[in-house]
Each structure stands twice: as structure tokens, then as C-alpha cells.
Amino acid sequence: MIFVITEHKDNKLKPITSELLVFAQRVGRDFGQPVTAVVLGSSTASLADELKTRKIDRVITAEHADLGEYNPDSYVEVLKSILEKEKPFLVLIGHTTQGMDFAPRLSVRLRRPLIAGCVEYEKQADRLILTRQVFNAKMNMKTSPRGEPPYFATASPGAFPGDEVETGGSAAVVAFPVQLSGGSRRKLLERVEAPKGKADLTSAPIIVSGGRGLKQKENFSLVFELAEAIGGSVGASRPVVDAEWLPREYQVGSSGQTVSPRLYIAVGISGAIQHLVGMQTSRCIVAINKDPEAPIFKVAHYGIVDDLFKVVPALTKIFKDLKQA
């Protein structure tokens, strides 16, 4: 059996859940294993109704008032009892803030392997090989879990195409009786939206984004000048924001804004997966970077491997000339 631990918010399945189901359906086909989706929550009926239409075998629901808001103690306790009873082969979890908050604890509590941040898998003579990215996505590492199953794996957001999930199923929905021994040690106080400020990039048609390749804060003027000449907005990668070259509201990526403009120009951005998931659906992506191995080129439509300090001013000049013409 392959288990998918679903992720949901406001009674809706999150996109990572479809990606995990695609991962599970593919591994399930290759290894001849049925797929089960697991939903934890305080009210799971509508989520289960949606899940059972996917081409899977079973939906397990675990309902409890204390599972209404995610907390790691309750999740680990409930999942441990489900997994010990069901003994699956593989347990798939999102490589998300929530998934990575409980998956490592669960893996240690059961003393079973966790391969985190998977982007691919393969079957080698009946063995499951899981591939993850290492060294900021510059290299891939193929791993095989040791010992007896269950094996845990978290899937990187964007690694599996959620829109290819097979539907047309009518899975059985089974309720798992939840018993929780105590409350959660971690108490949720509040959840707030970080201010978006003036740099709301989600509706910008053209974005010019800069990364660490600009070397220092002062050089970011190159990005602003190009954006102005082309009539676009400015974005940034996480390291730029961490170094305080620009405020947090400019950040594009999984912990910043998710954007999908008509044109996205990435200047000196190597393209960590966290950045790629925030911009890879842009209609046209241009990457300018001196490192030909930079992962950004994997999602780009047009690439220039050259010194950005020469290419960007040349581009700005062309757009300025075009404007005047």
C-alpha cells in the first residue's frame, strides 16, 4: 500500500495533495500497490468526498476536534497508530512547511527512513530509488531506504504534475477511530498575513527579478532600470531579501509571492526549487546567468549565459531607445 497524507486548508485540498496523488498513482502502478489517501481534521466529509473521486483504493479519515488546526504532536500520534495498524510500503507527505514539521518526528518515532525533498523516483529490480535535490538543486542524489517498510518520502512542491491526477474512481471511505492521549504542546496563538505593501506582484504582467548574482545591494539599480525601461515590476529571490537589499514584499517563491506574469526576466538568479515554484508558470521566462549549470535554465524559455553586468545595461538601452522611437 502507498499512503498519501493529504494537506488541506479551509476545507479545500491544497495543490500539493494532487501532486502527492500523482506520485502515489505512478509508484502504485510500477510496484502493483494500491493507493490510500489519509485525511486528518475536525470535519473531513467533504474532503473525503472529493478524494474518493480520484483513482485510488481507499480514503481513511481521522476526525477529532483537536485535529481542526494542524499541530505536530497530534498528527504524529494519530499517524503512528494508523501506520502501525495498516503497515504500508510507502508514505508520501508534502515537502511543505506543514509536512516537514511532522514527517521527521514521525520517521524517528517509528524508527523508519525518511527521504525528504523527492523530485523523482525509479524502480530498479524491485527496489524503490528516490531522487532528491542536494547542494541547492545543483545536484541530484539517488537514495534507497534501508530496512523494512514503511518508508517515508516528502515530495518537493512542483516536482509532480498535480493536473495529471487520474480521476474516475469511487474509493471506499473508512473512518479511523482517533484516540489522543493529551493536548498539543504547541499552542497556536494567531495567524497573520504578512503585509504585501506596494510590491504586489501577483497581477504584474512583466516582472524583472534579481538574485545574488548582482553581488551587492547597489547593483540592484540595474534591475530597477531595466524594469522601468520595459514597463515592468521588480522582484527578488530569497537571498537578496535575507541580505536586506530589498524588503520582504519583493520576494518571489514558496515563502514569498507566487507569480505568473506574461514575461519573467530572472537576472543573476540560480533558481533554487523554492524560487522556481513561485514563478515557473510564467508565460515566458528569460534567464540571464553566468553559470550554465544554474537550475533556472531548466524552466527558462530563453537563456543567456553571460555577464549580467554587460547584458542587462544593453537590454535597458534597447528598451529606452524603443520607447523614444
Partner 1 sequence: MKIISCIKPVPDSASRLIINEAKTWIKDQDLTFVASEADNYALEEALRLKEKHSGDVVVLSMGGEEAARVLRSGLAMGADRAIHLLDPKFKGADEFAAAATLAKVIEKDGGADLVLTGVQSDDLGTGMTGTMLAEFLGWAHATVVVGVEANPDAKSLKVRRELEGGINESVELPMPAVLTVQFGINQPRYASLKGIMAAKRKEFKAVTAADLGLADDAVGKAGAMYEVREILIPARKSRVEMISGTPEEEAASLVEKLRKEAKVL
Q: Is 136 an interacting residue with respect to partner 1 (CB under 8 A)?
A: yes
Provide the minimum distance between the beta carbon of 120 and partner 1 in the complex, in angstroms, as a whole number: 9
Other CB atoms within 10 Å distance of the CB of residue 164: 12
Minimum CB distance to partner 1 smaller for 64 or for 248: 248
| Total site size for partner 1, rule CB under 8 A | 85
The residue written with cell numbers 522582484 in the block is: 235
- With residue 59 as reference, give the H or E element that holds it: strand 58-63
Interface with partner 1 (CB under 8 A), residue from 26, 31, 100, 281:
100
Minimum CB distance to partner 1 smaller for 45 or for 206: 206
Question: Are 290 and 213 in contact, with CB atoms under 8 Å apart?
Answer: yes
Options 46-54, 77-85, 160-168, 309-317: segment touching partner 1 (CB under 8 A): 309-317
Q: Alpha-carbon distance 216 to 67, whole Å?
A: 46
Provide the minimum distance between the beta carbon of 92 and partner 1 in the complex, in angstroms, as a whole number: 15
Rg (CA), the chain: 22
Minimum CB distance to partner 1 smaller for 12 or for 283: 283
Chain residues 143-172 in contact with partner 1, contact rule CB under 8 A: 143-147
Minimum CB distance to partner 1 smaller for 174 or for 318: 318
Options 20-28, 60-68, 82-90, 184-192: segment touching partner 1 (CB under 8 A): 184-192
Which grid cell is 5?
Answer: 497524507
Q: Is 215 an interacting residue with respect to partner 1 (CB under 8 A)?
A: no
The SS3 of residue 256 is: coil
SS (H, E, C) 11-46: CEECHHHHHHHHHHHHHHHHHCCCEEEEEEECCCHH
Beta bridge partner(s), residue 132 = 118, 141
Interface with partner 1 (CB under 8 A), residue from 114, 207, 223, 246:
114
Interface with partner 1 (CB under 8 A), residue from 49, 87, 293, 323:
293
Chain residues 14-53 in contact with partner 1, contact rule CB under 8 A: none
Which grid cell is 78?
Answer: 494519530
Q: Is 141 an interacting residue with respect to partner 1 (CB under 8 A)?
A: yes
C-alpha atoms less than 13 angstroms from C-alpha of 53 in its C-beta half-sphere: 4
Question: Are 276 and 283 in contact, with CB atoms under 8 Å apart?
Answer: no
Chain residues 258-277 in contact with partner 1, contact rule CB under 8 A: 258, 262-263
Q: Is 254 an interacting residue with respect to partner 1 (CB under 8 A)?
A: yes
Provide the minimum distance between the beta carbon of 32 and partner 1 in the complex, in angstroms, as a whole number: 22
Minimum CB distance to partner 1 smaller for 173 or for 206: 206
Q: Which residues contact 99 (CB under 8 A, 6 or more apart)?
A: 5, 7, 16, 93, 154
Interface with partner 1 (CB under 8 A), residue from 255, 260, 281, 320:
255
Interface with partner 1 (CB under 8 A), residue from 1, 112, 222, 250:
112
Q: Alpha-carbon distance 316 to 155, whole Å?
A: 39
Q: Is 317 an interacting residue with respect to partner 1 (CB under 8 A)?
A: yes
Interface with partner 1 (CB under 8 A), residue from 10, 65, 181, 188:
188
Question: Are 250 and 199 in contact, with CB atoms under 8 Å apart?
Answer: yes
Chain residues 224-243 in contact with partner 1, contact rule CB under 8 A: 230, 238-239, 241-242
Nearest CA-CA partner of 21 in 127, 95, 89, 93: 93
